[in-house]
Structure 1
Amino acid sequence: MAAKFTNCGAFGCAEDGFRVTGEVNAEFDGCVSVGNGGQGFNILPKAPLMEKLGLPADTDPTKLAEILRALQGIPKAEQAAEAEKRGFKQILFGVLKEGPAYLNNVLQLANSPQVQQLIQMLSS
């Protein structure tokens, strides 16, 4: 899918000025984004996948893949403590109040039988 934005502006938005999610070929021509709370222009190709996984749309897929790989060598009973020790919640979710719930979702993903397929998908 293609999306073209021409001569547009986003000023003082609480989040990103422009956010495009999914597999979209986005083109911005003459657009301005100033004073926004998030990114000026944020393209999130893996956002629908993140939402299906129970994670925020703007979760960095590369960082998530790295963390899932790191959790693979840790016994399930020790994963939560190790994730806390390594700061995985802050790496993925910053200071979001929902961070603990999201981290629980990540721990569940780490123990899924399809985790290797998921890591490969996130890394591509």
Structure 2
Amino acid sequence: MSILVVEDHNATALILQALLRKLGFSDVDEAKDGPSALTKMREKEYELVISDWSMEPMTGYELLKEVRADRKLKKTRFIIVTATWNAANTQAAKESGVNAYIVKPFSAETLKAKINEAFAA
């Protein structure tokens, strides 16, 4: 499975990639922000995007909306990761078509469960 991790903090991106490798995923790419993620997604087909919520200049939520509005990208499974749980944000993400939502910190087991949830939908 090809996975794109969208995370603007290097340490968090490295941890997330290590967790994915621990779970057996080897085709993992990284983007530092939403615009670069969109560029990568238009160059390569990803089965899953795991994106941080809080980024500049485009939030993970804004990236999700762009992905869902793009005819070629809209079926890509999408997980949003956030450091803070917020009911309004969770609802907005669900209404925009997020497949799963993870609150930091999380374990490999939680990540695996959320990946399974994303593909069960």
TM range (shorter): under 0.3
The structure with the larger Rg is: 1
Between 1 and 2, higher relative CO (CA 8 Å, sep ≥ 6) is seen in 2
* TM-score, normalised via structure 1 length: 0.23
